[in-house]
Amino acid sequence: MTDLFVNKETEGKEEIEIIPTDELPRGRARHKMHGHSHSPMAAFAYYPDKVKFVAADNKEKIVLLLRKHPITNLKWLTTAALMILAPSLVGFMSPFLSLPENFQLILMMGWYLIVLAYIIEQFLDWYFNVNIVTDERIFDVDFVNLIYREITDANIDQIQDVTVQMGGVLGTTFDYGNVVIQTAAEIPQIEFTSVPKPWHKF
């Protein structure tokens, strides 16, 4: 019988316990599980609703979906905000003001298209770079661009060692870090980068 990973709280700390599939909570009870999420934007979700991915087997069940912690988006959001404000600062420069108004408008529109493309690219990079734990395998999905992605997987029974790396002010404050998984698969190492609650045991 297939076993799944579920969340259990022990002595004030959350751990992942293995229980048989037929004993898993159903319906509303499952929705009350700590970490279960209906949000498609969740960075940490047990039994996420309506999630499918290319390499999944029909009988395979997704137990855990991970993305980079949302706070890691702060860097590119700050850059995007500065890019949005840049034209108002450049507008005071005399070379820009000396250009014809139509040309100024074209430059502004071109700039904001670049900013929009940057924001969309960064968001898609965060949204589609996911780590997935199923009842059979672990997956690291790297979204490079709209036409290329790289998927690394290993069977659960091929996991040999798991190392958690946590550090820095943001990582400690917001509880995120890296999980490095050594495997006996063709790819010997799979890394979950900047994921929430990295101290969970797999």
SS3 17: strand
Retrieve residue 19's tokens.
């229980």
The answer to whether 19 touches 2, Cβ cutoff 8 Å, is no
Whole-angstrom distance, CA of residue 194 vs CA of residue 173: 13
Q: What is the pLDDT of residue 28?
A: 52
What string of DSSP letters covers 90-154?
Answer: HTTSHHHHTS-HHHHHHHHHHHHHHHHHHHHHHHHHHHH-EEEEESSEEEEEEEEETTEEEEEEE
Q: What is the pLDDT of residue 116?
A: 97
Q: What is the pLDDT of residue 82?
A: 95
- End-to-end CA distance of the chain: give it in Å, rounded: 18
The answer to whether 44 touches 192, Cβ cutoff 8 Å, is no
Domain limits of the chain?
3-68+129-196, 73-123
Q: What is the pLDDT of residue 2?
A: 35
Other CB atoms closer than 10 Å to residue 35's CB: what's the count? 18
Q: What is the pLDDT of residue 128?
A: 92
Q: Which residues of the chain have pLDDT under 50?
A: 1-14, 16-20, 202
Q: What is the pLDDT of residue 130?
A: 93
Q: What is the pLDDT of residue 62?
A: 83
Whole-angstrom distance, CA of residue 36 vs CA of residue 21: 16
Retrieve residue 113's tokens.
């298209």
